[in-house]
Amino acid sequence: MEPLIPEENKALSDLATDLVAKSNALAGRLHPVIQQGIGDLVRSMNCYYSNLIEGHHTHPVDIDRALAGDYSAEPEKRNLQLEARAHIDVQRKIDLELAPSPSTSKEFVLWVHKEFCQQLPPELLIVKDPKSGKEENVVPGELRQIHVKVGHHIAPAPEDLAPLLERFASAYGNEKLPKIQRIIGVAASHHRLLWIHPFADGNGRVARLFSHAFLKELGIGSSLWSVSRGLARAVDKYKAALQAADEPRRGDLDGRGNLTQAGLVEFCTFFLTSCVDQVAFMESLFEPAELQRRMEIWCEEEMRADRLPKGSWPLLREALLAGEFSRGKAPELTGYQERQARTVLNSLIEKGFLVSPTSRSTVRLGFPLAVVDRWFPRLYTGPAVAA
């Protein structure tokens, strides 16, 4: 599987440096309290796009319902909802630092697969050989015991998986490498993990969750942006770049490893460019003045249509700017008497536009699916959030 990290490459270093700068800028866009709510939204989005890469179109409304425990009576749709909920649960645990560390370790890779697959229904844990028709059960968290071919790539034999993952861990977990090289290593490791293909099924999801965790570990990734969105929006290029990096060395000028270095550089360029684009996209959505403008226009329309009570906007604006506020501040913000101000506040909480865990807790901004397309346009593509 050599080379594991491309030789020194200025273009890749520039991309990695740009990713560091943009991710730092993104982190400063929003109040930390609001970032927690955004994290829930982005995890659902990440799941939606990861599903698309797998060829599973799970509507955001169905994902939202699954998180509330409301599952479809249709077996196929219900299975996709369970799959989505499992993905979100694993990413949430990663974001809360409840996973094994480092992310490059064999233990982490096995943990992701186990945590994800053990939440799936039995019918989603069966793989069928396309030629023989023979079925094999996928065991959560266990390396595959069968030989597989993915496209043109003949994956390593089962007995080679453990030593390959150990080599993977030692190369990408090397903390002595300069940070820029480690960031380039995130891109390279994404391909190499898929090249190893450690599991009978679920490798794509594991690789994307792994990349999210690795980026987060390096202080680049966060719950505010999604690797999967970028990959899904150019899924044909993503799959073509993966396949190109699977190829053997192309000649004496193509590195010193068994696999093509040129192909790996091309994949790393695609992957890091996707990351930079996604961070820049999310940064544009979170630009404070523009976000406030979009929310205010939406709120005025809702009040004119009598779907929101008058006095709603000062409360929403305060939650956006301050992160949270005490319930007792509602009269001051709205200019209403206490009883009327409390009615407006409770209405916003009931609709999910404001969130408060208890009747005495502080209030923060909520992000129900109904407003995503207005507050964060193009977060989902196409008719994703249509009812």
150 is in an annotated binding site: yes
58, 51 contact by CB (below 8 A): yes
Torsion angle defined by CA atoms of residues 64, 67, 68 and 71, in that order, rounded to the nearest 10 degrees: 80
139 is in an annotated binding site: no
279 is in an annotated binding site: no
* Residues ≥6 apart with Cβ < 8 Å to 353: 308, 312, 316, 365, 366, 368, 371
346-385 burial, b for 16+ CB within 10 Å, e for fewer?
bbbbebebbbbeeeeebbbbbbebebbbebbeebbeeebb
Catalytic, out of 87, 191, 197, 212: 197
In this structure, what DSSP letter does residue 176 have? T
Q: Give which of 308, 303, 331, 316 is closest to 365, Cα–Cα.
A: 316
249 is in an annotated binding site: no
285, 42 contact by CB (below 8 A): no
69 is in an annotated binding site: no
Q: What's the half-sphere exposure (Cβ side, CA atoms, 13 Å) at 182?
A: 20
323 is in an annotated binding site: no
204 is in an annotated binding site: yes
Q: Return the structure tokens found at 14.
A: 């520039």
Cβ neighbours of 10 (radius 10 Å): 7
344, 311 contact by CB (below 8 A): yes
372 is in an annotated binding site: no
* Residues ≥6 apart with Cβ < 8 Å to 38: 30, 223, 224, 286, 367
251-270 burial, b for 16+ CB within 10 Å, e for fewer?
eeebbeeebbbbbbbbbbbb
Give the start-end residues of each E strand in the chain.
Answer: 126-128, 135-137, 149-150, 153-154, 324-325, 354-355, 363-365
160 is in an annotated binding site: no
With H, G, I as helix, E, B as strand and everything else as coil, classify residue 57: coil
Catalytic residue flag (residue 197): yes
Query: How far apart (Å, rounded) are the C-alpha atoms in residues 235 and 216?
Result: 23
258 is in an annotated binding site: no
153 is in an annotated binding site: yes
With H, G, I as helix, E, B as strand and everything else as coil, classify residue 377: coil
151 is in an annotated binding site: yes
Distances (CA, A) of 20 to 38, 75, 127, 334: 20, 43, 39, 41
Active centre residues (catalytic): 197
Binding-site positions read: 150-153, 201-208
The binding site for ATP consists of: 150-153, 201-208
